[in-house]
Amino acid sequence: MSGRSKGVFGEHILALHIALFINGYFPEIGGVEIGARNLNAEYVKRGHRVTVFTSQSRRELPEEEQIDGVQVYRFRWGGFGCAGLRGGLAEPP
């Protein structure tokens, strides 16, 4: 990627790395999950890099995967924090 993305009016804009922290994500189905997937698909189409951090609601879902060009990381949520994240964000239960 060249670091540039095509804007709405054809001008070139700087490509972004977008991080989304969301409770559920595809293949979970719901209004927020569908909306987030559609929004992320548009970001990727415009040349941006998207990373999603979400819950691992079912054990059979992989902890890490690519969906529609979006890097997805899933963590087991633990109370008010996230058991998989480190660095002051949360401690394991």
Residue 17 has pLDDT above 90, yes or no: yes
Q: What is the pLDDT of residue 6?
A: 60
Q: How many Å apart are CA 26 and CA 12, to the nearest integer?
A: 30
Token pair of 25, please? 């994500």
Q: What's at 55, amino acid-wise?
A: S
What pLDDT digit, counting tens, does each position of 32-78 carry? Answer: 999 999 999 999 999 999 999 999 888 899 999 999 999 999 998 75
- What are the beta bridge partners of residue 14? 4
DSSP string, the chain: --SEEE-TTS-EEE--EEEEE-S--TTS-SHHHHHHHHHHHHHHHTT-EEEEEEE--STTS-SEEEETTEEEEEE-EETTEETT--SSS----
pTM here is 0.70
